[in-house]
Structure 1
Amino acid sequence: MSYTIGQLARLSGLPVKTIRFYSDIGVLPERGRTRSGYRLYGDEDRGRLELVRTLREIGVDLATIRSLGERDLGEVLSLHLRTVETQIRALQRTRAVLRATLERDEPTDDDLRRLNALGRLGAAETTALVNAFVDDVAGENAARQEWLGGLRAAMVPELPDEPGIEQLDAWLELTELLADDGFRARLREMSGEFWENADRLDPAAWIEADTLVTRTALDAVRDGVAPGSEAAAPVVAGIVAVLAEAQGCGPEVIVRNYAEHDPRAGRYWELVAVVNGTPWPPESVVAHEWIAAAAASHLG
């Protein structure tokens, strides 16, 4: 059975101008026209129009609805579900900031900065920022590309549904570090000699050496050996010798690498821990901070 646009409007309860608009943009293709030029629609269009109205009511955009001829309805609804879930997480973060702000006597510039950043940076934007960061820092070095690629997922922490102000501030500081050109350049310079010669290293031997020196440094920490004490001198000398042998370089290179280490690199992973709500610092950080301090005191 055929219907004019007016008849379809009465049957569907939608205004003629809405149906005409849907037809003009291809959401509801017309089946034909009368001799007088009036649009004609069929029974299947009544069903499609009801589907369009339902999809619009749950927020699906017209471009997605128009693509239904090329996509399965389940795919469209799954895509929309992911969009809605993303929007919900963004709104929950905004709600957390607003609640914390209203608990104070007066809003501050920091509160406005959080709200502005939340509006600009979602999970997708942060992931893109991390990808650009990794590509920039890795440069043309294949070994560094592989190493950073393995860390890529861990570099994008997921904000909880109800983040605290500390977590939000950590997340914002993370995005600022990722976008910092000076930080990127400094990381490219750090341990440059190590990465240039990485293809000549024995990965198993390097892991074994790192495990050994970490355990040695942690033993010193647990025994109360201060990095600047005389007792620390032979311990750190032995640690540096092990690392130098594993890397195939002189001890001075190891000492220089510790001295040139940018504290912002450690700060990045501390911020990730804050966002994830995990303990900080891990034993590996405690160990290498002790080694750096001891090397500066006795081998610098």
Structure 2
Amino acid sequence: MTRPPDTYTIGQLSRLSGLPVKTIRFYSDAGVLPERDRTPAGYRLYGEADVARLELVRTLREIGVGLATIRSLGERDLRQVLDLHLRTVESQLKSLQRTRAVLRATLERGDPSEEDLRRLNTLGRIGAAERDALLDSFVAEVGGGVGAREQWLTCLREAMMPELPPEPTIEQLDAWLELVDLLSDDDYRTALRRQSEDYWDRREGGFDAKGWQETNAAVVAVVRAAIAEGVEPGTPEAAPVLDRVVALLARMHGAEDGPELRRTLARGYEEHDPRAEHQWRLVAVINGTPWPPPETIAHHWIARALGVTVPPS
């Protein structure tokens, strides 16, 4: 039986490509360069296309593309593979930059401590995939199967755990590590799920993210204007401001302004877990943004105004 035309033995392919026979055999066994046929004596045979394929495999391996990704080239085009690899490299570069920044800061501060080692260990363990998995579990557990609440949490998902900057300070890194611990805390998740359950149970029609954002922005604008004019909660001047705020919140809650709604709002502020505000404080440190933001200042004002005008239930 003669060898099929336009085929090469592994030795010939080695001479054409400059790669060792051992390497080509490894690629063939790994499935990234499948053999075309075999000679009667059992020698592997490859075709013309395999010469170019082998050059592609070598190039992809040199830039760090994994064998599993190369093996999937039959299902993806080369652009998809290179795009995937680019995103992988960029993620690795970010991770290396962060590690470099932490190492530099640690060495500049003197002898490394156990806390410094903990930072480096945690930083090495929590990459983009682990961050996404943490946020997935947080949204699912705090959402508790309530569709509207899960929609709301999904809107906040990226904001509530930002990526570390490429060159984080020790303060930013510590805030990020504390945020990881907080979002992983079962007690915190349970407290958030139980908070305002009545409100979320009433949102059977789903969560209007745009409407919520517009209402919140309007509330903050009303209160900021009052604060700028020096209006203090509990004063006569604060009453009409609170009326406008409650009217806006009433629409968002699908309720009417009245003693019951105001008691519900006041109770919500009273029972608000302080760890939730601390979570956003940590986010501000990571992002390098001022604290407190206008939204927090406005809601503190509303809480005080309700506290001095709404009788205890």
Q: Which TM bucket (shorter chain)?
A: 0.7 to 0.9
- Give distance in 2, aligned partners of 1:128 and 1:51: 34
Aligned counterpart for 2:268 among listed residues 243, 257, 268: 257
Change (3 A) 1:67 1:233: same
C-alpha deviation, 1:206, in angstroms: 8.3
Amino acid of the structure 2 residue aligned with 1:157:
P
* Paired residues for 1:1-300 under 5 Å: 1-198=6-203, 214=220, 217-218=223-224, 221-222=227-228, 232=235, 235=238, 239=242, 243=246, 246=250, 247-248=255-256, 249-293=260-304, 295-296=306-307
Change (3 A) 1:285 1:236: farther
Q: TM-score, normalised by structure 2?
A: 0.82
C-alpha deviation, 1:135, in angstroms: 1.7
SS of 2:168 mapped into structure 1: coil
- Give distance in 2, aligned partners of 1:69 and 1:23: 15
Amino acid of the structure 2 residue aligned with 1:269:
W
Amino acid of the structure 1 residue aligned with 2:145:
E
- Give distance in 2, aligned partners of 1:213 and 1:29: 65
Q: Is the 8 A contact 2:122 2:177 kept in 1?
A: yes
Amino acid of the structure 2 residue aligned with 1:118:
L
C-alpha deviation, 1:232, in angstroms: 4.5
SS of 2:46 mapped into structure 1: strand
Q: Is the 8 A contact 1:241 1:251 kept in 2?
A: no
The alignment yields a C-alpha RMSD, in angstroms, of 3.2
- Give distance in 2, aligned partners of 1:236 and 1:260: 23
Change (3 A) 1:235 1:208: farther
- Give distance in 2, aligned partners of 1:108 and 1:297: 49
Q: TM-score, normalised by structure 1?
A: 0.85
Amino acid of the structure 1 residue aligned with 2:280:
W
C-alpha deviation, 1:285, in angstroms: 0.6
SS of 1:160 mapped into structure 2: coil
Q: Is the 8 A contact 1:138 1:145 kept in 2?
A: yes
Change (3 A) 1:238 1:75: closer
Alignment deviations for residues 139-184 of structure 1 (CA, whole Å, 9 cap, x no partner): 2333322222222232231322222222222222221121111111
SS of 2:65 mapped into structure 1: coil
Alignment deviations for residues 79-131 of structure 1 (CA, whole Å, 9 cap, x no partner): 11111111111111111111111111111222112111111111232122112
Any unmatched runs of 5+ in structure 1?
none
Q: Percent identity?
A: 59
Number of aligned positions between the proteins: 297
C-alpha deviation, 1:233, in angstroms: 8.2
C-alpha deviation, 1:22, in angstroms: 1.5
- Give distance in 2, aligned partners of 1:72 and 1:207: 41
Change (3 A) 1:239 1:207: farther
SS of 2:138 mapped into structure 1: helix
Amino acid of the structure 2 residue aligned with 1:235:
A
